[in-house]
Amino acid sequence: MPPESHETAYSRATPRLRGYHTETRNCSSMTIGEKIANLRSAAHISQEQLAEELSVSRQSVSKWEVNQSLPQIENILTLCRLFRVTADALLRDDISLFGDVPGQKSAINETGAKNKYFGTDGFRGEANVTLTADHAYRVGRFLGWYYASPLSGFHMPNYRPRILIGKDTRRSSYMLEYAIAAGLTASGADAYMLHVTTTPSVSYVTRTDEFDCGIMITASHNPFYDNGIKLINRYGEKMDDATTALVEAYLDGDVQRLGLDGNELPLARREAVGSIVDYVAGRNRYVGYLISLASHSYREMKIGLDCANGASWMIAKAVFEALGARTYVMGTAPNGLNVNDGCGSTHIDALRKFVLENHLDVGFAFDGDADRCIAVDERGQTVDGDCILYILATRLAARGALGGNTVVCTVMSNSGLFKSLEAAGIRSEQTAVGDRFVYECMQQNGYSLGGEQSGHIILRKYATTGDGLLTAIMLAEEMRDRKASLSQLAAPVLLYPQTVRSIRVTDKSAAMNDPIIRAEFDAVNREIGGNGRALLRASGTEPVLRIMLECETEALCSSFTDRIADVIRKRGYCCE
């Protein structure tokens, strides 16, 4: 698509410039210099272009932005006019330019209502059954309209939102991608296409390239016939419930909830129709970023990579070969129907066998969108998310970089992890299952490391979401730094035998609250006593209950799990 032509630097910037919502916040004060820098960056204009518009030198603009000097009054008035903000908003430190703050939920709309479509990891379900192309088009329509509307916290006429889209390798991902792009452009937004890429790359590019939001089309570790839509805010974080509640209102036809008359969002016309832009360069910058984080060459390392026939099938090999590793790959022949099929982080036995057969130093398995990583050591033993958290926690603690000397885990983490961390002098906090809840706890408390047993690992210094490739690099770095094998690094973690069984049910909520099921669950916990624990939880993304047992032996785990599963079946909730 040929680039658009523009008359001047400022006219080029104006269509992309955010109209900033302002409000008083004690927690997010900004100097005038920081505000000028943010406004200029959001407008996508250089210091030279702004200096030309103001008839000052570039050095003057640079000094304002680093708080070495202040603009003259006439320049302040011109800045207010150019960026469409008030003088109060520009000059007062206690007024934020933004309607939201990284890591905090939006206060624009009420929260607390349970979402209908969006779970803990987006809108997910069987493609063209639960999640249809029409849903995808309407999600695009809403987001394209929302980010140009006052409802989003921005006030600027004719603002043209920029929204990033990535997808995994499922056949239905292409259908949903085109539907979302059609909806976005019909509402007047520009859709920037990363094509097949990972969820963490969408998060990274959204944040660093200052998009209004990001969209990832994936069902992560689910089978190919499922798909999903993950929404990412401009800070690279998962979208808050208040905003997704508005998306759902539009999906259900409640346009009045959006403050509009009529029964449909307005359509963009003529030159206001959005553009579709190829943005593969953004994905390439993400690859470069990952490579830049490594301080060692992996030239002598033999590394296995299981890409699950998913989003990392090209990226993972490129990253590790650029770092000098001898790579051995599997799960790199996606055909749209084989993502996660007998491979990837949820089918780790394939990589275990692969590592032993090829005498590899280490193996890393990713899921469909590569926000998870499960490792395999040189002996073919699985190193799950709990063990990875321990290895990275001790690495950061030794460098004085473990925020709060605390690791954030979930209630599904193995009790052995908590004891191993305690023995290493490291504290832990538990959250509900879901990397979103882990990240919120980290953000609120200043913690730097958190994750899940499933392999979602968040290193907040480098990313705002779980990133399988980043996790793999950090493990390889620790192996290099310590001159140790992965089995040696994981050896201090003594995990209890644990089983997790997933049962597909007709009604998660009813089964979770069934008094007979609860009574059996409580009875099992009493019998276990202090030598383990039982957990029963509903999946946030599937119609599934998960039974987790930790006991002194695997036989006891299986026995107790069978008891609880039996009661669920007898109560008529199973649909398998």
C-alpha span between 98 and 89 (Å, rounded): 10
Single residue among 459, 490, 521 that ends a domain in this structure: 490
Task: Quote the domain boundaries for residue 546.
Answer: 498-570
C-alpha span between 158 and 163 (Å, rounded): 16
Question: Which of residues 424 and 54 earns the better pLDDT score?
Answer: 424
SS3 (DSSP) at 535:
strand
Is residue 326 domain-shared with residue 472, that is, in the same domain? yes
Say if residue 199's pLDDT is above 70. yes
* Average confidence (pLDDT) over 472-487: 98
Is residue 484 domain-shared with residue 503, that is, in the same domain? no
pLDDT at 52: 83
Is residue 243 domain-shared with residue 347, that is, in the same domain? no
Confidence of residue 125 (pLDDT cuts 50, 70, 90): very high
Is residue 538 domain-shared with residue 564, that is, in the same domain? yes
**CATH number for position 56:** 1.10.260.40
How many domains are contained in the chain? 4
* Average confidence (pLDDT) over 74-79: 86
pLDDT at 184: 98
C-alpha span between 37 and 75 (Å, rounded): 15
Is residue 91 domain-shared with residue 187, that is, in the same domain? no
Domain assignment present for residue 241? The answer is yes
* Average confidence (pLDDT) over 71-81: 86
Contact between 458 and 438 (Cβ < 8 Å): yes
Confidence of residue 576 (pLDDT cuts 50, 70, 90): low
For the chain, what percent of residues have pLDDT higher than 70?
A: 89
Domain assignment present for residue 104? The answer is no
* Average confidence (pLDDT) over 368-389: 97
* Average confidence (pLDDT) over 281-299: 97
Is residue 130 domain-shared with residue 265, that is, in the same domain? yes
Contacts of 3 (CB under 8 A, 6+ apart): none
Is residue 418 domain-shared with residue 364, that is, in the same domain? yes
Can you say how many angstroms the Cα of residue 44 is from the centroid of all Cα atoms in its chain?
25
pLDDT at 7: 31
Say if residue 106's pLDDT is above 60. no
SS3 (DSSP) at 194:
strand
Choosing from 220, 312, 345, 428, which is the catalytic residue? 220
Pairing of strands 457-459, 326-330: unpaired
**545: β partners:** 503, 538
Confidence of residue 69 (pLDDT cuts 50, 70, 90): confident
Domain assignment present for residue 193? The answer is yes
What is the pLDDT of the chain when averaged over all its residues? Answer: 88
DSSP assignment, residue 131? B
Single residue among 455, 473, 490 that ends a domain in this structure: 490
Give the position of tokens 């460098």: 399
Domain assignment present for residue 84? The answer is yes
Domain assignment present for residue 399? The answer is yes
Based on the residue annotation, tell me whether 173 is a catalytic residue of this protein.
no
C-alpha span between 184 and 177 (Å, rounded): 11
For the chain, what percent of residues have pLDDT higher than 90?
A: 67
Is residue 149 domain-shared with residue 25, that is, in the same domain? no
Is residue 312 domain-shared with residue 278, that is, in the same domain? no
SS3 (DSSP) at 404:
helix
In angstroms, the Cα distances linking 43 to 10, 380, 490, 535 are 9, 52, 48, 50
Kindly tell me the burial class for residue 299, based on how many C-beta atoms sit within 10 Å of its own C-beta (0-12, 13-18, 19 or more): exposed
Single residue among 96, 127, 155 that ends a domain in this structure: 96
Confidence of residue 396 (pLDDT cuts 50, 70, 90): very high
pLDDT at 84: 67
* Average confidence (pLDDT) over 414-440: 92
**CATH number for position 135:** 3.40.120.10
Instruction: Read off the pLDDT of residues 257-283 as tens digits, 9 standing for 90 and up.
Output: 888 888 899 999 999 999 999 999 999
* Average confidence (pLDDT) over 29-50: 73
Domain assignment present for residue 309? The answer is yes
**CATH number for position 519:** 3.30.310.50
Is residue 367 domain-shared with residue 463, that is, in the same domain? yes
Say if residue 252's pLDDT is above 90. yes
Number of H helices, E strands in the chain: 21, 21
**123: β partners:** 118, 229
Is residue 556 domain-shared with residue 485, that is, in the same domain? no
Claim: this prediction has a pTM higher than 0.75: yes
Domain assignment present for residue 566? The answer is yes
C-alpha span between 336 and 224 (Å, rounded): 7
Domain assignment present for residue 476? The answer is yes
Is residue 135 domain-shared with residue 273, that is, in the same domain? yes
Tell me which of 188-192, 450-454, 569-573 is least confident: 569-573
pLDDT at 212: 95
